[in-house]
Structure formats: structure tokens, C-alpha cells
Amino acid sequence: MDLSYLREHPAQLPVFIQHQRIRETPVAGGSICVAQRLTLDDGNSVFAKSLADPPEGFFAAEAAGLRWLRAAGGAPVPEIIAELPGMLALEWIDHGEATPRGAEELGRGLAHTHRAGAETFGAPWPGYIGALPLPNEPSTLPWGPWFARFRLQPFLEASTGALTSDDIAGVERVMSEISGYGGDEPPSRVHGDLWPGNVLWDRDGRAWLVDPAAHGGHRETDLALLGLWGGVAHYDRLLAAYRESWPLADGWRERQPLHRLYLMLVHTALFGAAYGESVRSLLRAL
């Protein structure tokens, strides 16, 4: 099996793996899926992620998001080589180190991706973030009420065992007052889970977007998530290049904790009380 054959016959990939016709090398970093580098007969490699019993539409959602982001022609997104119910295979990116120039290119590319827009908030496909369903019902609500209803409320409900009553009351207060934070904009084409670990740097120092939870959302969400956990490499350079390409509305810095609260609630829903203090820290900032 070579790369051209795989592109034409993607359904054959599990058969070739099962019969050991493809060299498999584990790839570190996956917390949900099994990640591997698959080396084909012609020496080309692909990146494959698989799950033995995935939720319905799990890989289809990621594939739809990757194609949608890639179609924008902005920040680089890997090509899909094979999309199967239990596996997704993407073009292989040789890993490298981040560079200031690459971060600036990412800022400009991300602005281009965001500008491609979306018809509504949400998406035409059912979504996932990690292993959790991501409510993607298309909505014509203004951004603030939509964000509260579809990005905060579901993960707050899924986090009740991980949060204190004060935490829950704090998030509910933010949701009830969300219009006061401002920042309403039409929907942008966003990655949706763009914490620094979902940026892959290649050997040329160029950044690629991976593992999306893509949807029509607020562009500030992607930018805020890039600053989590120490921030993506050369974060300040990235933000400056982005803002030069597409200025942000007043108050964007003050809204960063609001956008980050979404992903922290995802983490309390997935991993429990270990992320409770992160939620509290964001509530204090708000």
C-alpha cells in the first residue's frame, strides 16, 4: 500500500494494519484515542488516530471540522487521507520548533480562517470536544446568549460533581449577566478547542491546526484558548499579527476569562475536581 493507493482505497487501511502490511509507530500525547504513525510501502507516512468503540459520528465530526477549516485557506490544516467510523488518517507533519515568524504567520492565517465565517453559530454536524458531545445546533441567537446556552450550560451541568455550590452559582451568575460583557459579533469560523497542544509546529517553524471542535463561534474564543497553560509559543507576536490583520473589539482582554471558562468546564466535566480551582480563578477574574 502506497499513499496514492490509500487515497483511492481508504477503507482498506484497517485490513492492511491487521495483516501487518504497514509499519506502526506509537505517537505520544493522545489522551482519548490511540495515535500512531503509519509508514507505507513507498516510505510515506500518515498520522492515524483510532478508537475501538467510538461514539456515533465521533470521527465524522472531526473530519467535517478539518475540511471546513482547511477550505478557508487560512491557517494550515492537515489533509484527510482516510475517514472511517473508527479511525481518521491525516497527512503526516514532521515535528519541529516554533519560531516568531511562524507565530506571526499563524496570527494572520487564523484571522483569515475566522473571516471565512459561518452561516450561524453552531455547525451543520453534531460536534464533539474530547469525548463529550458538543451542542452544535445552528442558532440565530446573539453571541452572548448562545455562548451561555450552548457552551457554558451543558458543561456546567456535566460538572456538578466536580464543582462546589459556590462555583455553580458563580457560573450561573456569569451566564445571567453575559450580555454585559459585550463583544457580540457575527459567527466566525473557529477551531473551538485551540489550546496550545492543538497547534502542531513543523520543521519549518510553521503552525498547523489539529484536533478541532470546529463550529461557528466567536473568534475571541480561539485567541483566548491559545493563551492557556502558559500560552502558545510567541503568543504576543501571534496576537499582534492577528490584530494587525483584523482588529479586535474593545474589551477583548477583559473577555478572555469568559472564553476560557468554556474549556475549563469541559475539563471539569471530563476530569473532575482537579480543574475546579481553574474555574474559580476565571470566575474571580470575571
- Name the pLDDT band for 30 (thresholds 50, 70, 90): low
pLDDT at 180 over 70: yes
Please answer whether residues 170 and 285 qualify as being in contact, where contact means their C-beta atoms are separated by less than 8 angstroms.
no
Kindly report, residue by residue over 77-109, the tens digit of the pLDDT.
999 999 998 999 999 999 999 999 999 999 999
**61 and 78 assigned to the same domain:** yes
**160 and 178 assigned to the same domain:** yes
Measured CA angle at 205 (ends 199, 211), to 5 deg: 15
Number of folded domains in the chain? 2
Using a pLDDT cut of 70, give the percent of the chain over it. Answer: 99
φ, ψ dihedrals at 186, nearest 5°: -65, 160
Helices 100-115 and 235-245 pack at an angle, to 10 degrees, of: 40
**72 and 118 assigned to the same domain:** no
Which of 33, 59, 91 is the last residue before a domain boundary? 91
pLDDT at 27 over 90: no
Number of helices followed by number of strands (H, E) in the chain: 11, 11
pLDDT at 220 over 70: yes
Domain that holds residue 19: 3-91
CATH of the domain at 72: 3.30.200.20
**156 and 35 assigned to the same domain:** no
- Name the pLDDT band for 263 (thresholds 50, 70, 90): very high
pLDDT greater at residue 132 or residue 1 = 132
Other CB atoms within 10 A of residue 8 CB? 8
Please name the amino acid found at residue 85: P
pLDDT at 33 over 80: yes
Which of 71, 91, 111 is the last residue before a domain boundary? 91
Q: Which three-class secondary structure string do you get for 24-83?
A: EEECCCCCCCEEEEEECCCCCEEEEEECCCCCCCHHHHHHHHHHHHHHCCCCCCCCEEEE
pLDDT at 128 over 90: yes
Q: Three cell numbers at 240?
A: 499582534
- Name the pLDDT band for 29 (thresholds 50, 70, 90): low
Q: Three cell numbers at 9?
A: 482505497
**83 and 125 assigned to the same domain:** no
